Structure 1
Amino acid sequence: MWNEYLTIVVLFLLSLLVLYTARNSGRRRFPGPTPFPIIGNIIPPGQIWKKLAVLGQEYGPVFSLRTFGKPMLVLNGAAIAREILDVKSAIYWSRPVPKLIELAGMDRGVLFENDPIRLRQSRKMLNIILSPRKLENYRSVMEKYVVQFLNNLLESPERFSEHIRSVPGGITLEMSHGYKIHGAHDPVIEMADITVQNFSKANRFGSHITNFFPSVADLPSFLPGMGFKRDAISWRNQAEHLCEQTYKFAKDEIAKGIAKPSMVSQALEKPEEYSEYIIKYTSTQVYSGGADTTVSSLLTFFSTMVRYPDVQRKAQVEIDCITGGDRLPLYSDRINLPYMNAVLTEMIRLYLPIPVVARVPAEDDVHNGYYISKDTLIIINLWAMLRDETLYPDPDVFRPERWLSKEYDAKLDPWGIAFGFGRRICPGRDLAEQLLFTTIACTLSAFDISPAKDDRGEAIMPSGEYTDGGIISPLPFECTIRPRSSRARELVMNAVNEVDLCL
């Protein structure tokens, strides 16, 4: 009996080996580490972008991998990424949908939409609020939430990480659904945060077996290792609840005649252009697609200011020269704040929230004589691109001054890399830039940020380390936040009185 089982297993493994050999013969592929038979290349889980960057030091800016028969192409260089993803955008526009994302119902909406018609409709709908011209209509909304954030820092600075969450959350929900949040513990914000956390877990590269072997999801739930199926059901219910509740709120406000202008309200006026499916899931992703990345960048800002006090001082001096210390900075001041711009740009380069994204080609392709099959997973290592020492000398050093030099051209701009390539460029770039700049400039104008102290009065420095996942953030840290002066406190309090803070 056991001999029969052993024979079956051996024959199965031999058939896999034959299939593997057949699929790898006769085609010239990009070089890469030699895969083991059947299992292919083994990459330990955990911050995969760093491991791929190390492999790139040996195999170059583009190299191939294979895992359990699945071909992969790693793009560690910005130049090759542009050649493939920008120039050939008609081929490399599709985004792979991890099986766990599908099981959790998070594949609906613009992020993972691979139907070209629906994708075009979704991106058009996003432009209702996210185009540079339309964003001007929401400038007062942005300033309102930034001022509320500054006021929260005055009242409870130790809860800064909690206050940060309400800034992008409040702005995006008001823009997308006309919903005004009710404090840091707003039920919609809390519900949305849970959904975003679930998404990051489901989308973590290489951490779930079902993302490599989708058929595993068909196995009975009672088997060992099938806990992900229960998680997926829970995550699906939570994501659907968020989508339905926010959509219902927007429609109810419209029916009452009291709706604020929002993406949903404007899209519902054009049923011939946008189906209910498009409206519901596209609007939900305005928050889920952008809030957590912005939160990550704002946490990075506080951590960075603690670790680089000289940078903080230089930025404050520049801001004071423009405002005279008599007002808070505005987004319109950005053109006159080159060092502040440089600080933000260097933050995005060194600490981008999404280090890796992926694509799949729509058809077989040959690039520079190398074959890329349509089932190839294209891994775009943004983290490695922005730490390329041939482009950015001393890439691991936080040095804003590098962006004050004219030696860097537009192709090296971290914003142009961090927000993607080709037809999948993030549509929220302008909102992210405006929100981050306004929040950071106003915070530095009003507050000093310094290390927290332990019981012996010694500084507790942030580790500078980041979490793992689809969206990464600094590991939890503490800091001390104080008004720069009595005048700075007064400016914040005056700003509070000047804006509508009925949140």
Structure 2
Amino acid sequence: MTIKPIRNLNALCTIPFGTSWPAHISPVMLQLPDLPTMQLVLGAAASLGVVGVIRTFLPKSTNSLPLPPSPPNWRLRGHSLPLLNPQLTVGAWIDEYGPLITIRSGTEKIVYIGRYKAAVDIMEKQGASVADRPHSVSASELFSNGQVLAFVHVGETFRRMRRALHTHLQPKAAEAYEPLQMTYAKNTVLDILEDPVNFQKHASAYSSTTITKITYGKNADDSEVAGGRQFLMTLFKVVIPGAYLVDTIPWLKYLPWYGQDLKQDHEDNRKLFTGQMSRVKKQMDANEDIGPSFGRYMLENDYGLTESEMAFLSGSFFAAGSDTTAAGICTILMAAACFPEEQAKVQAEIDAVIGRHRAPTFADQQSLPRLEAFISEAMRWRPLGPGFPHRATKDVIWGNYCIPAGTTVVGSHWAINRDPDVFPDPHAFYPQRWINDKGLVRDDITSFLYGFGRRICPGQHIASRSLFINSALIFWAFQLSLDPTKPVNDMAYVAGVLPMTQPCGIEFTKKISDSEIRRMLKNYPEGASEV
């Protein structure tokens, strides 16, 4: 019998206990042509058992309270989460086992938070204790090389990066970009007039153009947008527990053939981000009038960051803000088409406040609570992204449970937004839940769309404005309905990255004549308030 070499270590380590070995794998001898490499693989695999014995009980706490309950599991690598919509699996476990659960990924214990009160108590009120990130070989080393803010540990570098972003993107500073956002949102409406079928393409054009202009003061380039999308796809993949075997067997990072995709992604990102920043620097050195941008702001202000750190900070902001914003806009449009009765209520409000003689602006935002509630409900209905892991730096007590220092903690946006105690009938689309007795938007609940505590997305004020102005203009101009001839996948945008194929067809019926829309948008936003 010829023994075939193992090419898929992930497959080897997912064989459950009690399951017979695949016919092509010998449990006695594993043959690879390169003996030193084979010895290293075997050493790594053998060490997994030793490390598992040592670390199964780690991190430890002197507190006698237990970890949250854990779903049954007999796999060597721990609990299995699918790469596609892992939040559904976590949500089902939360429903069955309680507001907090513990899963195992290799030798690592991960606590998922799936209910609203627990999220507030742990991620917000005790946010300082869970502001750190866990170390991940795939994310922190191979993919980011310690330079992507999302994976930087709490410390001086993190504080400098965070200070730079928050100073430039705080609410008052973000207001300066409103005219830019209105201009590009106007283009979205005009694009839909010309080509209503490809709404996802138009949302992508808005988000990529806006974030590129804000970050670098330039128009979007297709290759740069594609590079940013690849960055985001990998970013969301590496945070899924068990996605990469190297996080269970760290020795694998020393194998030259392992993790080539992650290493190549890092090199591609380095070239893209440093190239973008080099262009801004050259323009500044040549005294060109490039206007304001985050890249320029970074170069003009000393935050104690290296050139590489500045490049990755700007690049991460650019890449993270492109597809996620477009996915948010598309989610809102899809919700409007799926729930026409709720769309009609929003449009009645827009008609009453705005009328048919001018286009909405940011000045109308406080007068459109139903629109704000609709956006909040859409983001609760289909929250974006898998949720980023945090790390407890000291014991966190919640109820009768203790999350020991060193434990990974993840807030499950999907499960939290389906907490029936806070969101009754959670699977229903009900924007009214966000309106208080006075008819105003509630300020006592949130969907945690932008994350938790000290790790909250620094670009939230830019992103929330983009969602508002695009929704306001599109709902003002069109009535949306599903194309009955096309299939609908209402989960397509929850990954936070635009799918390759548009997940539904939406028909855009003009509420105002084509010529009137174009006339009112001709001088928008400068003439937006003119009647």
Gaps of 5+ in 1: 455-459
2: CA distance, partners of 1:38 / 1:44:
12
Q: 1:478 aligns with which of 505, 523, 528?
A: 505
**Alpha-carbon shift at residue 94 of structure 1 (Å):** 0.7
Residues 103-112 or 437-446, more deviating:
103-112
Matched residue type, 2:385: I
Partner in structure 2 of residue 413 of structure 1? 446
Indicate how the Cα distance of structure 1 residues 453 and 275 shifts in structure 2: closer, same or farther if over 3 A, else same: same
Aligned mates of 2:291, 2:147 — CA distance in 1: 26
Match of 1:338 among 356, 362, 369: 369
Match status 1:39 vs 2:76: yes
Which one of 319, 326, 333 corresponds to residue 295 of structure 1?
A: 326
Asked whether the 8 Å contact 2:477–2:511 carries over to 1, the reply is yes
- Measure, in 2, the Cα distance between the counterparts of 1:342 and 1:13: 49
TM-score using structure 1 length: 0.86
Correspondence 1:238 to 2:240:
no
DSSP-derived class of the 1:448 partner = strand
1:28 and 2:65 matched: yes
User: 294, 298, 303: which one pairs with 1:263?
Assistant: 294
CA RMSD of aligned residues (A): 3.2
| 1:80-479 correspondence to structure 2 within 5 Å | 80-101=118-139, 102-105=141-144, 107-181=146-220, 186-221=222-257, 226=258, 229-257=259-287, 258-271=289-302, 273-368=304-399, 370-406=401-437, 410-414=443-447, 417-454=448-485, 460=486, 462-466=488-492, 469=495, 476-479=503-506
Contact 1:465 1:475 in 2 (8 A): no
2:102–2:111 CA contact under 8 A, matched in 1: yes
Q: Distance in 1 between matches of 2:497 and 2:240?
A: 8
**In the TM superposition, what is the alpha-carbon distance from 1:16 to its structure 2 partner?**
6.5
Deviates more, 1:340-349 or 1:229-238: 229-238
Name the CA distance, whole Å, in 2 between partners of 1:309 and 1:109: 41
Alpha carbons of 1:186 and 1:64: their partners in 2 closer, same or farther (altered >3 Å)? closer
Deviation at 1:234, TM superposition (A): 2.5
Which structure features the higher share of helix residues?
Answer: 1
- Code of the residue aligned with 1:114 in structure 2: it is H
- Contact conserved, 2:56 with 2:107, CA < 8 A, in 1? no
Change (3 A) 1:265 1:12: closer
Find the residue that maps to 2:176 and give its secondary structure: helix
Alignment of 1:43-54 (within 5 A): 43-45=80-82, 46-54=84-92
| Residue in structure 2 matched with residue 457 of structure 1 by the alignment | none
Q: Provide the secondary structure at the position in 2 that maps to 1:114.
A: coil
The answer to whether the 8 Å contact 2:157/2:305 transfers is no
TM-score, normalising length: structure 2 = 0.81
> How many matched pairs?
481
- The 1:33–1:127 alpha-carbon spacing in structure 2 relative to 1, beyond 3 Å, is closer
Inter-CA distance 371–311: structure 2 relative to 1 (3 Å threshold): closer
Corresponding residue SS for 1:72: strand
Deviations 1:454-494 (A, max 9, x none): 3xxxxx352323367575869622222243231x5423354
Deviations, residues 150-204 of structure 1 (Å, cap 9, x unaligned) = 11111122222111112122112211211123xxx64432332333233334444
**Could you tell me how far apart the structure 1 residues matched to 2:209 and 2:462 are?**
13
One-letter amino acid matched to 2:377:
E
Deviations 1:53-84 (A, max 9, x none): 22222321112223333212121122222222
Deviates more, 1:234-243 or 1:390-399: 234-243
Give a deviation string over 1:390-434, Cα, whole Å, max 9, x none: 1111101111122223399634222xx222222112222221211
